[in-house]
Amino acid sequence: MTIVLTHIENVIGGIKDSDVGLRSLDTTAAEDLLRGLAKRELWGRLGWLDVKRRYRRTTIGPFWTSITLAIYTLSVGSVGAALWHQDIYEYLPFLVSGMVVWMLVSSIAMESCNMFIAGQVLFRNIRFDYSILAYALVWRNFLVLLHNFAVYFVIVLALKPSLFSFTLLLVFPGLALVILNGVWISLFLGLVCLRFRDVPQLVSSAIQISMLITPLFWPADTLTGGRRIVFVDLNPLYHVLDVVRAPLVGRVPEAISYGVMIAMAIGGWWLTYLVFRRFRKRIAYWS
Amino acid sequence: MAAVILENVNAHFPIYGAQQRSLRKAIFGRATGGSIEHEDNDRITVKALSDISLTLRDGDRVGLVGHNGAGKSTLLKLMAGIYQPVSGTVRVEGRVTPLFDAMPGLDGEDTGYENIITSGMLIGMTRREIEAKIPEIEEFCELGEYLSLPVRTYSSGMQMRLGFALVTSLDPGVILMDEGFGTGDLRFAERAEARMKDFIGRSPIMVLASHSDRIIKAMCNKAVLMEAGRIVAFGPADEICDQYYESVHAAAMTERAKRLARAESSSSDGTDLGSKGEIGPSSSVSFPEDMTRPGDDVARLCSARLLVDGIGDPKIIDRNSLITVEMTFEVLKPGYVLMPNFHVFLQDQYVFVSSPPQNSELAPGVYNSTMSIPRGLLNIGFFLIGVALTSVNPLNIHFYVQHALGFRVTESKASGIFKEIPGPVRPAMEWNVTRA
C-alpha cells in the first residue's frame, strides 16, 4: 500500500497538544511517583477491574473472600479461644480484626513480588509510570479489605456491639499509615523481585512464619519478659497490626506503634526512593 | 511542530541467566571478594544500540531497515520512552503514539467497551476523551452487540478490528510502528487501509521498522539502515533500501567467500572449486597470479571491472551514461571455442544474459572482452553482474563468478517525471501518437 502524504500544516492545527516544545523522554523517579499518583482515574480503574475480574461469573463475587474469612475466623477462633483460654466474646472480634489487617498486609507483600513481572505487558509496550502499578495494587487490596470489614461488622454486632464507639474512628489514621507503608513496600519488593527471581519464595515463607510469631492468633499480653520484647515490641508487624486492630477492639493504639509506623514510612520511603531513582531506568531492561 | 532528536544514545541489555538473577549469587558474589570480577566477566551484555544520533522532523516518514537484532525495535522503544538510554538523550517535541500494542492492558474477561476505556486511559486519554470517541469506534469496528460481551468471546479478527478502530481514532502524534502491526500487509479491507492512510497522513512523523524494503519504499520517504545496533546510513528511502539490499548480498557473499576459502585451503588443488568461485560485489575485481584464480585447467578469470564512459571504478552510475563491463581471462589450453558471458541481475531478478554473437577457438594467452550496455537501458536500482566463461561443443562452464561486480544506477532527479518507474530496464522505445 502507498501512503499519500497529506498537508502537514493543516494537521498540526487540528491536534490539541499540551506537550509543546522539545523535551526529554527520561522520567525521573519523583516524576514517576507524582504523575502516577495523579493518574487516580487510571490506577483506580486498574485496581477495580482486578477485583471485578477475579469474581466474574461468580454469584456473590468478592464476598467469597469474606465468607472464607468468616469460616476461618469461626473455626480457628473456637479452637484458639480454648487454646489460649480466652473468652470467645473477646477472642473472636480480636481474631477477625487481626485477620482483616493481616490479609491486607500479607497480600500486598505477596502480590507486590509479582507486580513488575506481571506488569511487563504494559510497560514494554507503552510509556508508563511504574508507580501506577503500586498504587493499583494497594488500591485493589484496599477494596478487598472493605469487603472483609463486612465480616468484622457482623461478628462484632453479634458478639460485642459495645465496640462500636468513637475509638473505632482511630482506624482511619491507622489504615492511612498502613497504606502509606504498603505503597513503598510494593514498589520496593516489586523492584527487588523483578531483578532477583528467588525473592518471591523468600517473601512467601517469611509471611507464613511471621503469621505465627506475630501476635495475630494470640494476644500480645500472653508473652512476658524477653520473649515479649523480641516477638512484640521489636516486631514491626505487631505495630502494623496494632495501629488498625486496637481501635477495632476498642483500644487506643500504643503511641510507640504510631511512632514505629511513622518511622517505617519515612525510612521505607527514603530507601525506596533511593532504589527507585537508581534503578528505575533498568526496570524495562530487567523484565 | 514535531521532532525526535536522539543524541549519542546507547542501550545495553544485561542478560541474566537463571543463575545470574538469583539473590544468592549477588550476596555471595559480594561477600567473596574475587568472584565479583568473575561475576562481571560472566555477565553478558547485549549492546542493543551504540552511539545513535538521529534527528527527525515534521513530514518525515522514516523506515528502519536492518536484519533481525539490528536494533530496530529497541530504537523504536527508546523513541517511545519505554526504554531509557543508558547514556545519551532522546528528546521529543509533540506527542508520541507508539503502536506496539493496539490495546494495552487488554483483558479477555472484560467487555469490549471496558477494554476500550482501559486501553484508552493507558494510552494517555482521559475517560471523557475516550467516551467521546466511542461512537466512532463503534461505527468503524462494526462489532455491534459484541462490544458488550467479554473480549475472550471475540475471534482474532474481531479483536484486531477493535484494536485498529481504537488506535486510529486517536489524534496521532509521532507514530512509532513495528511491522507486526500489520499496516503493510494487505489483510486489511480497503476501508481499513484508507483509514490507516488517513491516520498516518495526519501524523507529523512516522517511524516504521520493517524487514521488507518493499513496505518501506511504499510508505516512507526516508530510511535508516541499521546494523548491529548502529546507524549505518540515513537518507532517501529508495537509496537506503537499495543499500540494505546490497548489504544483505554482501553478507551472503562474504559468507560464501569464507566457505570458498575454507574449501580451497582444505583441498590440495582448488581448481574444481575455483570454477564456481564467488566474491563480493564491487566495481572491479581482480585475482592476482599467486592467488587461486577462478577457473579450471582450460581457462581462468584474471579480473573484471566496470567502465563508465571510459572511466574506471564507478560505484554509482547515472543511467544515461555508457556502462562497459570488461573481463580479462587467461586461456591455458588450446582447442576450445570459448564464449565469455555476463549475467545481469537487479537484486534477485534476472535482467539479461549476454555473450558475443560469434565465438571462435582461442589460442592460449590473455584476452580482454567487453560488453557495453546502451545508455538509458537500465532502470534505477542496484545491479549485480555474474562473470562466466563457457565453451561450446561440448558445453562446459570454466568459471562462473556470481555477483562479481555490483553497481547502483541512479538518475538525476530533474529528468524523472514519476517518483519511481517499475521494472529492471527502461529502454527508450520508439513511440508514435498520431491522430487516426
Under the banding of pLDDT at 50, 70 and 90, the label for residue A287 is confident
Q: How large is the C-alpha radius of gyration of chain A? A: 23
What's the rounded Cα separation, in Å, for the pair B266 and B271?
12
pLDDT digits (tens, 9 = 90+) for B346-370: 877 888 988 888 888 888 889 999 9
Q: Is the pLDDT of residue A257 over 90?
A: yes
Determine the longest span between alpha carbons in chain A, in angstroms: 83
Nearest CA in chain A to B98: A126
Nearest to B21 among A46, A128, A197 (CB): A197
Interchain CB distance below 8 Å, B95 and A24? no
- DSSP secondary structure string for all residues of A135-155: HHHHHHHHHHHHHHHHHHHHH
Under the banding of pLDDT at 50, 70 and 90, the label for residue B207 is very high
A233 in Cβ contact with A164 (< 8 Å): no
Q: Which residues of A touch B86 (CB under 8 A)?
A: 281
pLDDT for the residue B257: 60
A&B contacts, CB < 8 Å: 154
Interchain CB distance below 8 Å, B21 and A53? no
Task: Report helix, strand or coil for B277.
Answer: coil
What's the rounded Cα separation, in Å, for the pair B9 and B84?
9
Q: Which three cell numbers stand for residue A37?
A: 499518583
pLDDT digits (tens, 9 = 90+) for A192-201: 999 888 899 9
Q: Is the pLDDT of residue B290 over 70?
A: no
- DSSP secondary structure string for all residues of B346-397: ETTEEEEEE--S---EE-SEEEEEEEEEPTT-B-SEEEEEEEEEEEETTTEE
Interchain CB distance below 8 Å, B117 and A45? yes
For an interface test with A, the pick among B49, B75, B202, B212 (most A C-beta atoms closer than 10 Å) comes out as: B202
Domain-located, residue A33: no
A265, B317, B418, B427 from B380: Cα distances, Å:
69, 9, 12, 12
CATH number of B3-234: 3.40.50.300
Q: Which residues of B touch A1 (CB under 8 A)?
A: 183-184, 186, 193, 196-197, 218-219
B346 in Cβ contact with B383 (< 8 Å): yes
What's the rounded Cα separation, in Å, for the pair B108 and B123?
18
Domain B267-415: CATH class, spelled out: mainly beta
Interchain CB distance below 8 Å, B22 and A202? no
Q: Is the CB of B173 inside 8 Å of chain A's CB atoms?
A: yes
For B199, counting Cβ atoms within 10 Å of its Cβ (0-12 exposed, 13-18 middle, 19+ buried), the class is buried
Q: Is the pLDDT of residue B38 over 70?
A: no
Q: Which three cell numbers stand for residue B385?
A: 553482474
Q: Which residues of A touch B93 (CB under 8 A)?
A: 20-23
Nearest CA in chain A to B194: A3
pLDDT for the residue A243: 94
Closest residue by Cα to residue B85 from B8, B7, B11, B176: B11
Q: Is the pLDDT of residue B39 over 90?
A: no
Domain-located, residue A6: no
Nearest CA in chain A to B218: A2
Q: Which residues of B touch A5 (CB under 8 A)?
A: 59, 61, 201, 221
What's the rounded Cα separation, in Å, for the pair A93 and A158?
10
Tally of CB atoms within 10 A around B65? 31
Domain-located, residue A256: yes
Nearest to B104 among A5, A126, A198 (CB): A126
Interface predicted TM-score of the whole assembly (ipTM), two decimals:
0.81
Mean pLDDT of the residues in chain B: 79
- Beta-bridged to residue B325, according to DSSP, are B306, B371
pLDDT for the residue B180: 63
Sequence letter at residue B397: I
pLDDT digits (tens, 9 = 90+) for B147-194: 999 988 888 778 888 888 888 888 888 989 887 665 434 455 677 778
pLDDT for the residue B256: 57
What's the rounded Cα separation, in Å, for the pair B86 and B104?
26
Q: How large is the C-alpha radius of gyration of chain B? A: 29
Nearest CA in chain B to A119: B105
What's the rounded Cα separation, in Å, for the pair B377 and B320?
8
pLDDT for the residue B273: 37
In chain B, residues under CATH classification 2.70.50.60 are: 267-415
What's the rounded Cα separation, in Å, for the pair B103 and B313?
53
pLDDT for the residue B183: 45
Cell numbers 538525476 correspond to what residue?
B412
Q: How many domains does chain A have?
A: 1
Phi, psi of B83 (to 5 degrees): -100, 140
Q: Is the CB of B4 inside 8 Å of chain A's CB atoms?
A: no
Domain-located, residue A31: no
Cis bond before residue B135 (omega within 30° of 0): no
Better-predicted residue by pLDDT, A16 or B167: B167
In chain B, residues under CATH classification 3.40.50.300 are: 3-234
Under the banding of pLDDT at 50, 70 and 90, the label for residue B336 is confident
B49, B204, B367 from B92: Cα distances, Å:
18, 12, 61
Better-predicted residue by pLDDT, B373 or B41: B373
Q: Is the CB of B46 inside 8 Å of chain A's CB atoms?
A: no
Q: Which residues of B touch A46 (CB under 8 A)?
A: 105, 118
Better-predicted residue by pLDDT, B40 or B389: B389
Domain that holds residue A197: 41-47+59-279
Question: Which residues neighbour B428 within 8 Å (Cβ) at sequence distance 6 or greater?
Answer: B376
Domain-located, residue A65: yes
Q: Is the pLDDT of residue B394 over 80?
A: no
Cell numbers 580482454 correspond to what residue?
B368
Better-predicted residue by pLDDT, B13 or B368: B368
- Give the side-chain half-sphere CA count within 13 A for B143: 30
pLDDT for the residue B263: 53
Under the banding of pLDDT at 50, 70 and 90, the label for residue A65 is confident
